[in-house]
Structure 1
């Protein structure tokens, strides 16, 4: 039996008001709404707090507390919602290649979803931060697939698949994966690694991302960036912790946690 989810609360959180059915139009609409409504953020590991993947904790944080999360939180929440609607959905685990060479050997630290629908397989991923997939990809190699933002494609790397997005005319690899669905404990171990390892990006930097219409918003420490298709990125170095707070609350739509060290940590962010 799959963990329960308050589906009505989920649909309210992502501002989804249409009827739901286990079909491709619903899947596409849910992915787009989720990516726009729930931000990517790593405040908990940045504070040294555990990231709890239990269903009740995920729903409390992302649905009721006005927070976001990273890949495991986003995609586990979406997986539960899709199952409640009637989709056949399973988790996949990936090795991140973003900003690395395609032959890099990296740990399995990313999660995405495979959806089987009418005999075909589709991929969704609402948790890759600055390059979160805003559409739904057919599991088919070597074809350019449009999304509401950049084109994406899948290529084969030996026995693996590789997810790529096109940025400024160049295909960039995001991660590689196989089609084996891992047992839940593997996701727990990967989540523990990325949220506690001293060298993890999520323990050493403040990171946030969200889709805003035709724009991708990203924050890395004090650097706030807005990217639009066909335009050069607009980068702004935020002056102090107060500006960082305003951007997180207003542009990323985050309800910041009541952590006693929040404002000190924001003011100490590197430029």
Structure 2
């Protein structure tokens, strides 16, 4: 992208996420940008059951998430987020992670998640605008660091092992609001990642038979004081300390929830093609 394209895309992106101007390239600016991004652009994998390929290069991701006002999954969200961070003046690079959420202890899943390593005042931070299971605020990369999300859940970073070990060097855990136990979310290492690695990981995630993203329709979005998710027909909202959950009744109800909560305007034909009703 040339400079004029960068400026135009940044303006369109900021409008998409509801910010009047770019934040400063510091810790507060990073937090504000990721928060706005995740409350405006839904996490969703609906193109997979609709039979559409997932592209993770800058141009198609921008066209889908910004121009087309759709959502996406981690490789799309963090591609867009990384591009816009770079225009603003942040130094950011991708990391690959193994998602442990919902898996038994000791499982070794493949690296199918992307997060970002950000350098702020010569110190490393992690940021993630594309984790569908929860909202993880940006946090300094350090042993035992804890941050709290808008839904009251806490996240912490722990050393998983030495650099280069198979499980990864770091692990992110989550403790739900009011809970005592921490649950592993994902583990990662700090090795450099090539663009081809991201393409390969995304392709596996979006095409391998029997995996979560090829068998389920998944959506989530961060709320100002909570978090909302839609997994198949189960719609769950945690907001202001209370949680409600219900089953989506029919295709019309599903479309209404997509529009009202997730900002997605799918046609009747597209919703029918999801195969939920």
* d(CA) in 2 for partners of 1:250, 1:200: 28
Partner of 1:163: 172
- Give 5+ residue unaligned stretches, structure 2: 163-168
What's the CA shift for 1:144?
Answer: 2.3
Equivalent residue of 2:49, what SS?
helix
Listed as ranges, the matches of 1:72-151 within 5 Å are 72-133=75-136, 135-149=137-151, 150-151=153-154
What's the CA shift for 1:25?
Answer: 1.5
Greater mean deviation of Cα atoms: 70-79 or 166-175: 166-175
Conserved 8 A contact 2:75-2:114: yes
* d(CA) in 1 for partners of 2:116, 2:82: 7
Per the alignment, do residues 84 and 103 of structure 1 end up closer, same or farther by CA in structure 2, a change over 3 Å counting? same
Report how many aligned residue pairs link the two structures: 265
Conserved 8 A contact 1:130-1:217: no
- Give 5+ residue unaligned stretches, structure 1: none
Q: TM-score, normalization: structure 2?
A: 0.90
What's the C-alpha RMSD, in Å, of the aligned pairs?
1.9
* d(CA) in 2 for partners of 1:21, 1:14: 16
Conserved 8 A contact 1:15-1:37: yes
Q: TM-score, normalization: structure 1?
A: 0.92
Per the alignment, do residues 148 and 9 of structure 1 end up closer, same or farther by CA in structure 2, a change over 3 Å counting? same
Partner of 2:56: 53
Partner of 1:174: 185
**Runs of at least 4 residues off by over 4 Å:** 1-5
Per the alignment, do residues 141 and 20 of structure 1 end up closer, same or farther by CA in structure 2, a change over 3 Å counting? same
Conserved 8 A contact 2:97-2:113: yes
Conserved 8 A contact 2:157-2:173: yes
Partner of 2:25: 22
* d(CA) in 2 for partners of 1:129, 1:28: 17
After superposition, the C-alpha distances for 1:151-209 in whole angstroms (9 at most, x for unaligned) are: 21001112220011111232111110001121110100010011111112112111100
What's the CA shift for 1:143?
Answer: 3.0
* d(CA) in 1 for partners of 2:134, 2:223: 13
After superposition, the C-alpha distances for 1:88-124 in whole angstroms (9 at most, x for unaligned) are: 1010000110011342111110000010010111111
